[in-house]
Structure 1
Amino acid sequence: MDNKQLEERLVAEKEEEDLKTRVWIESKTVWRIAFPSILSRVTSFGMVVVTQSFLGHIGDVELASYAIIQTIIVRFMYGILIGMSSATETLCGQAFGAGHHHMMGIYLQRSWIVDGITATILVPLFIFATPILRLLGQEEELAVAAGPIALWFIPMIYSFVVSMTISMFLQAQLKNLIVGWLSTASFVVHLFLSWMFVNKFNWGMNGAMAAMTMSGWIMVVGQLVYVFGGWCPNTWRGFSKAAFFDLWPVVKLSISSGIMICLELWYFSILVLMAGYAKNATVAIASFSICLNIYGWEFMVCLGFLVAASVRVSNELGRGSAKAVKFAIKTILGTSTSIGIVLWISCMVFRNQIAYLFSDNEAVAETVSSLSGFFAFAILINSVQPVLSGIATGAGLQSTVAYVNLGCYYAIGIPIGVLLGYVANLQVKGLWIGLMSGVVMQSVILGCFVWTTDWEEQVMNASERLNRWLLKPAAEENERVLDA
């Protein structure tokens, strides 16, 4: 081997070593964000799933009624609030990357104001759940049983407002491990309370819902203690009058964020609503909701990578590094896809046992088992699609994703689901195929969008946005009205 070949080999080995080092460092950063977020979201969503499991063993009507409320009205509300809260994620992430730490607490307070007003507007949906479900054509027995369940969700609306915004505030500054532990503690408490209220005290549906409400607020109290207690000295400097100014830009970004998420979550809700028109509606809704809840639980894992993608993209855009943005995107997509493959295999292996976690009804279990192939494929796609949405969120491009969701879900997915479900008479299978056709199309379009985005231009856009809304530390000090 001559000197030139030896030199080229040494250069190649050094580049390979540098690449491994960069991947290792980026992976550690990603997992530092993603793992607590996954832990938080899996356990938070787990409380919903555990409640459904307890109600399912009380009776099929309770299971189906809860499924209607949770997948239609609650998902409608949750979609709006989590979407609007993602504006906090974008603004705080870019502010943290740019070193504007003092602005993060103000952005958090502005989000509380905007999201709190929105939550109050949504309360009548839960108060009038029974007449709304009647209007939508649901069976009388299910609509009546769903009314009392819906009222239990009203306290949860306001817990979502505080919890989701604080979680995104902490994630942006890489302090979300506390969120994971608080959520895990709430999940453990929820398991204990559900068992005690339902199995020991025999409080039935009220016991199951009371356990979920109490557990949800435990996490909120813990988050508030952490933020107000001095663990965020650079980013939380007390309540400020500045939070009441410049609300309109936050409202606009929150609305576009809300629409982006809502169009996705409502998509699933509409398909559950259509399952209520299938033959044997109780079995159809129960089986479809079981698949969606497991799909949703796995989606919580993928949302951890959505958060990681959003935080890493927003942080690097705030720092002004387009090259770092692109490297972070490649690392997160590779990691999330690998996990999706493992979960896909696991779903295929245990496809015949899944339904019995939620119901003892053989008809429900058989329907869920028949959907296993489509269900496993959905989980695989799930490992890619949320990351792509997270990339757009980090860049503040929620309105673009909203248009993509509108076209893929409502112009493609739902019409295909209706045709296959009712015209081709495939029933629940047809609805699920329609659901996945929309998700696949959305993933393809977002993938092309990420691939062709000019990240240098996005760096300039982020800088312009931050400078336009920046309040100097001295000015912010003058606006402060209460120390934390």
Structure 2
Amino acid sequence: MADANQQLLNPKEDGNVYGCLKAEVSLNDEKEIEHSELKEISKNSLSLSITFLLQFFITTVTIISTGKLGVVQLGGVSIANVTFQVSACIFIGMATSLDTLCPQAFGLKKFKNVWLFYVQCILISFILAIPLALLWMFSSSWLGVIVDDIEIIRYASSYLKIMCFSIPGYIMFECGKKLLQSQEDFDTGRKLLFIGVPFNVFLNFTLVNKIGFNGAPVAAVITYNFIGLLITLQAIKTPVFEQYKNCNINEYFSGWSTLISLAIPGIIMLEAEFFAFEVLTILSAKFGNTALAAQSVAASLQSLMFQIPFSFGVAISNRIAYQIGRNDFKKCKIITKLALVKMATSLFLINCSIFIFCGKALTSIFTSDPAVRDMATKILKIIALNQLYDVFNIISAGILRSQGRQRIGGYLNLISYYLIGLPLGIVLAFRSSLEVYGFWIGLGVGILILALLETYYVVISDWKTIIEASKKLHGGSVA
């Protein structure tokens, strides 16, 4: 194939017009594939963007509803949501292993593998949930180490104790989404959230008005378990579910190393980024309640807009993983080029423009305090510039997941955030007059380095070796 392509790109070697025609057809075919993939990925990404934004809004609305109660309540829910998001990244990271395994197995028509990986991911996630739930239950004993205000600690701890009951639904929804997405179903999660989110908003504001602060986490708990149940019911309606008849109980509890080996670096990739950003929110408390509230609002908006490129990263990851399973390295190359050149650039322009031109309006949704609003708006301008690098980081990370090369991304995330970005941000914040703004400038440098390195590893990918590794994985693991 490589020789044939080389011949097409150099028609003089054919010595006749037929060689030129073959080259033209080859280029036309590539453009046609690119157009088709752009349409398919954009459609799936749009659906995923809505899904992620709606899902993220379940916890974001708690900031809006409780923020109206006062600055202390806003600080409490902010710290609690920081803890929740960092902890939830473990479940999301676990589920990202399915971005590699399930689409590849589905492309190879190893449907039994798809079902087994899904169930195994749920089982492992529930085991990981036990220490996390204990951490939340006793959060009042350790929050004092990072937050000075006793009232903020009291509100945050109360919130987290209630949110322990959201874990089952959260896990089921994350894993259910991945199972459906591996089968090219990107719409069910969105449709279920169109039911769940309005229900959550109504429940949230109603309960906050009736029982106060604790009404917000109660509403989130009910919503997560509701949508988790709904997506599980959808999952068992898929043809893949029929494979449970071919599985024995021992298979569900064996071969976990395959999934864990991908899940751990996947968790590190997400956790490193999320935790770095959330550390900033915690450290912002050192500059006062106004800085903490502004940081919380800016971080919430950054996380909200993160869902757009992340959805493209997931759609791209699923699409490439499926082509890896089909042994189509030509499409893998075309999709990768399309993602890095056209999609990443477009996503940067969208996110950057929203932060620059709509920053003040967006911060006003979260708070009516003018000092908090002005500080948060200034932070968003720094975040707008950081989007240039972060978008390439997110897209490249998605491609690495599709290849089963999460380990590379895990190492690079640790280096970029914790050896470069976070230390630099802390120095700029506490050793200069930049304060909160220094956090984001320092992290921006780390993100730039991360994006350059991840993109480099994607560009030098050896697709034939990656496809052979996928065949070996699914041929000898759980099939």
Deviation readout 1:242-263 (Å, 9 max, x if unpaired): 2112123323322222222211
CA distance in 2, matches of 1:22, 1:230: 28
Partner of 2:215: 207
Partner of 1:347: 355
CA distance in 2, matches of 1:416, 1:90: 34
Q: Residues 318-329 of structure 1: matches in 2 within 5 Å?
A: 318-329=325-336
Residues 24 and 121 (structure 1 numbering): CA distance in 2 closer, same or farther, change over 3 Å? Answer: same
Aligned equivalent of 1:265, options 250, 274, 282: 274
Deviation readout 1:116-140 (Å, 9 max, x if unpaired): 1001121111111111111234322
Deviation readout 1:44-100 (Å, 9 max, x if unpaired): 0011111111111111111111111111x2122112111111112211111011110
SS in 1 for 2:360: coil
CA distance in 1, matches of 2:187, 2:424: 41
Does 2:436 correspond to 1:428? yes
Aligned equivalent of 2:179, options 162, 169, 175: 169
Return the letter of the residue paired with 1:339.
L
Does 2:35 correspond to 1:27? no
Q: Do the aligned partners of 1:51 and 1:209 also contact (CA within 8 Å) in 2?
A: yes
CA distance in 1, matches of 2:101, 2:395: 18
CA distance in 2, matches of 1:88, 1:147: 32
Judge which range, 338-347 or 414-423, deviates more: 338-347
- How does the TM-score come out when normalised to structure 2? 0.91
Does 2:469 correspond to 1:461? yes
Following superposition, the deviation at residue 307 of structure 1 comes to: 0.7
Partner of 2:165: 155
Partner of 1:54: 65
Structure with the greater relative contact order (CA < 8 A, sep ≥ 6): 1 or 2? 1
Deviation readout 1:127-176 (Å, 9 max, x if unpaired): 11111111234322211221111112112222221111111111111012
Q: Do the aligned partners of 2:77 and 2:159 also contact (CA within 8 Å) in 1?
A: yes
CA distance in 1, matches of 2:359, 2:270: 29
Q: Residues 444-459 of structure 1: matches in 2 within 5 Å?
A: 444-459=452-467
CA distance in 2, matches of 1:41, 1:372: 21
Gaps of 5+ in 1: 472-484
CA distance in 2, matches of 1:418, 1:356: 27
Q: Residues 18-97 of structure 1: matches in 2 within 5 Å?
A: 18-71=29-82, 73-97=83-107
Following superposition, the deviation at residue 8 of structure 1 comes to: 9.4
Deviation readout 1:17-43 (Å, 9 max, x if unpaired): 434421221123213432222121110
Following superposition, the deviation at residue 239 of structure 1 comes to: 6.9
Residues 126 and 470 (structure 1 numbering): CA distance in 2 closer, same or farther, change over 3 Å? Answer: closer
Q: Do the aligned partners of 2:329 and 2:467 also contact (CA within 8 Å) in 1?
A: yes
Q: Do the aligned partners of 1:298 and 1:379 also contact (CA within 8 Å) in 2?
A: no
Return the letter of the residue paired with 1:261.
L
Return the letter of the residue paired with 2:335.
A
Following superposition, the deviation at residue 339 of structure 1 comes to: 3.0
Deviation readout 1:400-454 (Å, 9 max, x if unpaired): 1111011100000111111110001311100111121111111111011111121
Q: Do the aligned partners of 2:172 and 2:229 also contact (CA within 8 Å) in 1?
A: no
- Identical columns (%): 22
Partner of 2:302: 295
Partner of 2:7: none
Q: Residues 268-417 of structure 1: matches in 2 within 5 Å?
A: 268-278=277-287, 280=288, 282-333=289-340, 334-417=342-425
CA distance in 2, matches of 1:237, 1:176: 26
Residues 237 and 59 (structure 1 numbering): CA distance in 2 closer, same or farther, change over 3 Å? Answer: farther
CA distance in 2, matches of 1:166, 1:378: 32
Aligned equivalent of 2:130, options 120, 143, 153: 120
Return the letter of the residue paired with 2:32.
T
SS in 2 for 1:385: helix
Return the letter of the residue paired with 1:58.
L
- How does the TM-score come out when normalised to structure 1? 0.90
Residues 276 and 235 (structure 1 numbering): CA distance in 2 closer, same or farther, change over 3 Å? Answer: farther
Q: Do the aligned partners of 2:87 and 2:132 also contact (CA within 8 Å) in 1?
A: yes
Return the letter of the residue paired with 1:251.
I
Q: Do the aligned partners of 1:33 and 1:171 also contact (CA within 8 Å) in 2?
A: no
Residues 321 and 418 (structure 1 numbering): CA distance in 2 closer, same or farther, change over 3 Å? Answer: same
Residues 277 and 102 (structure 1 numbering): CA distance in 2 closer, same or farther, change over 3 Å? Answer: same
Following superposition, the deviation at residue 5 of structure 1 comes to: 12
CA distance in 2, matches of 1:372, 1:92: 37
Following superposition, the deviation at residue 368 of structure 1 comes to: 1.1
Does 2:114 correspond to 1:104? yes
Return the letter of the residue paired with 2:222.
M
CA distance in 1, matches of 2:258, 2:214: 41
Residues 255 and 12 (structure 1 numbering): CA distance in 2 closer, same or farther, change over 3 Å? Answer: closer
Partner of 1:197: 207
SS in 2 for 1:176: coil
CA distance in 2, matches of 1:260, 1:238: 34
Q: Do the aligned partners of 1:111 and 1:165 also contact (CA within 8 Å) in 2?
A: yes
CA distance in 2, matches of 1:9, 1:386: 39
CA distance in 2, matches of 1:15, 1:255: 41
Q: Do the aligned partners of 1:33 and 1:307 also contact (CA within 8 Å) in 2?
A: no
Alignment root-mean-square deviation, CA: 2.2
CA distance in 2, matches of 1:451, 1:32: 25
Return the letter of the residue paired with 1:53.
I
Partner of 1:475: none
CA distance in 2, matches of 1:399, 1:360: 44
Residues 342 and 235 (structure 1 numbering): CA distance in 2 closer, same or farther, change over 3 Å? Answer: farther
CA distance in 2, matches of 1:238, 1:225: 20
Following superposition, the deviation at residue 235 of structure 1 comes to: 5.8
Q: Do the aligned partners of 2:170 and 2:225 also contact (CA within 8 Å) in 1?
A: no
SS in 1 for 2:213: helix
